Amino acid sequence: VITMAIESSCDETSVSILRNGRNVLTNIIASQILQHQKFGGVVPEVASRKHIENINQVIEDALREAGVTFDDITHIAVTYGPGLVGALLVGLSAAKAIAFARGIPLNGVNHIEGHIYANFIEHKDLEPPFIALIVSGGHTHLVYMKDYGEYEVIGRTRDDASGEAFDKVARALGLGYPGGPEIDRLAKIGNNKAITFPKALLEEGSYDFSFSGLKSAVLNYLNSQKMKGNEIHTADVAASFQQSVIEVLTEKTLACAKERGINTVVLAGGVAANSGLRELLGEECKKRGIQLKYPSLKLCTDNAAMIGCVGYYDYIKGLRSDMHLNAMPNLKIGQRY
């Protein structure tokens, strides 16, 4: 099976071509970060317009880089949610047009499942079941993945997503967008014990997350320091904030793995690129004899290869989407069509 996969849910236009779901021939990612940076976040209308401008070129580039033509493509996979509706519609329309014109099967893919499947691309021997910690710009989920396409959501954020918290705190610190990589960089030189920020562990035994209290605590700290005329040590604030986030993520993930008796943990989503999280969770997993897998940096953030991988596994299960497939901005994990 040669899959062409298209991703346009947020601010990257990406097209990948894969052989049998896990073998990536190409994974082109056209990022719009520069267009959105001056606004400090993604502007939906700008994103949609940029996707329209980019999509045909990215498709052509992908075919050329993979050394194939449309005649070689036997299957189409596309993100249909969750994400920005106008952005999703661009990739979805292109995918439906190709599937219809070529008469080849189409699978609509859940973007969040894509983040998990990024791990299958690089870890060829990885198989479910495992516990997945999905930490992205818009989502924070602790999931028990029983089998391909079968998920049990064990915990989720009750307010901000972890990536959102990174981005908001970064903005308050006057750092660029997206803020996660900036905080990660500064945290390496800052003292993570300089300031004690709250860790929201919630009720005993809860696997849910909450990051808005932490975000407010950082904002309050910054305001009070300014009022007192104190100098703010940006790197210390970044390191202390990051420490609070990664400790909560690590504690809950390990408690969940223990309760379920699972010895494989998988990290997914943009915040999986965080070096502090990789290190802390890595050390704690090692102590417990748990294997930890995470994607390389390029596959942590949005890309079409991870979408193609989900589409392939859905396809070999016999699932198909049709021409009525529509964008679903609030699509839930495990929901099909």
Amino acid at 157: T
Q: At a CB cut-off of 8 Å and minimum separation 6, what does 14 contact?
A: 6, 7, 8, 27, 28, 29, 30, 58, 302, 303, 304, 305, 307
Q: Whose CA is closest to 321, among 96, 70, 74, 39? A: 96
Is there a binding annotation on residue 91?
Answer: no
The residue range among 178-186, 202-210, 258-266, 317-325 that interacts with ligand ATP, by the rule CB under 6 A, is: 178-186
The residue range among 26-34, 117-125, 162-170, 231-239 that interacts with ligand ATP, by the rule CB under 6 A, is: 162-170
Locate tokens 């996979």: which residue? 77
Cβ neighbour number for residue 199 with a 10 Å cutoff? 13
Which residues are bridge partners to 142 per DSSP? 133, 155
Q: At a CB cut-off of 8 Å and minimum separation 6, what does 93 contact?
A: none
- Of 9 and 48, which has the nearer Cβ to ligand ATP? 9
- Of 47 and 239, which has the nearer Cβ to Mg ion? 47
How large is the C-alpha radius of gyration of the chain?
A: 20
Torsion-angle region of residue 202: left (phi > 0), alpha (psi -120 to 50) or beta? left
Residue 136, interface with ligand ATP (CB under 6 A)? yes
Residue 186, interface with ligand ATP (CB under 6 A)? no
Residue 303, interface with ligand ATP (CB under 6 A)? no
Residues 253-312 that bind Fe ion (CB under 5 A): 302
The residue range among 69-77, 120-128, 142-150, 175-183 that interacts with ligand ATP, by the rule CB under 6 A, is: 175-183
Residue 11, interface with Fe ion (CB under 5 A)? no
Is there a binding annotation on residue 167?
Answer: yes
Instruction: State the Cα–Cα distance between residues 258 and 212, nearest whole angstrom.
Output: 27
Is there a binding annotation on residue 134?
Answer: yes
The residue range among 87-95, 135-143, 206-214, 249-257 that interacts with ligand ATP, by the rule CB under 6 A, is: 135-143
Residue 250, interface with Fe ion (CB under 5 A)? no
Instruction: Tell me how far, at minimum, the Cβ of 198 lies from ligand ATP, in Å.
Output: 19
Locate tokens 């520069």: which residue? 34
Which residues are bridge partners to 15 per DSSP? 6, 28
Is there a binding annotation on residue 184?
Answer: yes
Q: At a CB cut-off of 8 Å and minimum separation 6, what does 223 contact?
A: none
Cβ neighbour number for residue 39 with a 10 Å cutoff? 10
- 114, 84 contact by CB (below 8 A): no
**Percentage helix, strand, coil, to 5, in the chain?**
45, 20, 35
- Of 8 and 192, which has the nearer Cβ to Fe ion? 8
Instruction: Tell me how far, at minimum, the Cβ of 301 lies from Mg ion, in Å.
Output: 6
Q: State the binding string over 113-152 for Fe ion (x if CB under 5 A, else -).
A: -----------------------x----------------
Residue 81, interface with ligand ATP (CB under 6 A)? no
Residue 178, interface with ligand ATP (CB under 6 A)? yes
Q: Which stretches of the chain bind ligand ATP, using CB under 6 A?
A: 9-10, 82-83, 111, 115, 136-139, 163, 166-167, 178-181, 184, 269-271, 273-274, 301-302
Q: Which stretches of the chain bind Mg ion, using CB under 5 A?
A: 10-11, 302
Binding-site sequence positions for Fe cation: 111, 115, 302
